[in-house]
């Protein structure tokens, strides 16, 4: 699966951004699509994931409520809506895809086979 992420940018604290991840390359009805982020000097962090078929979602700790993941099957695109952004949300955001993940493994980055190029999100205070 090839992934193309977009939608990052510079936003003030309290603002919103919507990231997009468009997939191509094969059928992915059995795939899970995830968003991860990595800030300078920090480990990669799980943000959210969604199962393509059925739409089961999972969020990283403390992000649910501000972030929402969704999908548009016709556009083959997964979205990450980010609201009430904080400076600590500043990071490069990556989308990733993995086949046949069970729910408890949605946050395991090592299990994702395919990664997009990342999009920078910067939140100013």
pLDDT, tens digit, 9 for 90 and up, residues 9-45:
999 999 999 999 999 987 888 999 999 999 999 999 9
pLDDT attached to residue 26 = 77
Classify residue 118 as exposed, middle or buried by CB count within 10 Å of its CB (0-12, 13-18, 19+): middle
pLDDT attached to residue 64 = 78
The confidence band for 94, taking pLDDT boundaries of 50, 70 and 90, is very high
What average pLDDT is seen over the chain?
95
Angle at 27 between CA 106 and CA 8, to 5 degrees: 55
pLDDT tens readout for residues 48-57: 999 999 999 9
Neighbours of 105 (CB within 10 A): 15
Residues 93, 33: Cα–Cα separation, whole Å: 13
The confidence band for 63, taking pLDDT boundaries of 50, 70 and 90, is confident
pLDDT attached to residue 16 = 98
pLDDT attached to residue 120 = 98
Q: How far is CA 14 from CA 7, 34, 54, 56, 114, in A?
A: 17, 24, 31, 27, 31
Cα torsion 62, 65, 71, 77: sign: negative
pLDDT (average), residues 83-88 = 96
In terms of Cα–Cα distance, which of 15, 18, 3 is closest to 94? 3
What percent of the chain has a predicted confidence (pLDDT) above 90? Answer: 91
Residues 125, 120: Cα–Cα separation, whole Å: 16
Residues 60, 89: Cα–Cα separation, whole Å: 12
């Amino acid at each position: 699966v090839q992934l193309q992420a977009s939608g990052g940018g510079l936003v003030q604290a309290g603002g919103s951004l919507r990231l997009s991840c468009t997939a191509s390359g094969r059928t992915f009805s059995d795939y899970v699509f995830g968003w991860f982020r990595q800030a300078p000097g920090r480990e990669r962090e799980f943000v959210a994931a969604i199962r393509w078929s059925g739409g089961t979602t999972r969020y990283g700790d403390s992000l649910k409520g501000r972030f929402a993941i969704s999908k548009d099957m016709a556009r083959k695109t997964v979205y990450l809506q980010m609201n009430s952004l904080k400076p600590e949300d500043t990071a490069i955001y990556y989308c990733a895809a993995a086949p046949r993940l069970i729910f408890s493994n949605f946050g395991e980055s090592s299990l994702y086979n395919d990664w997009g190029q990342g999009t920078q999100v910067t939140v100013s205070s």
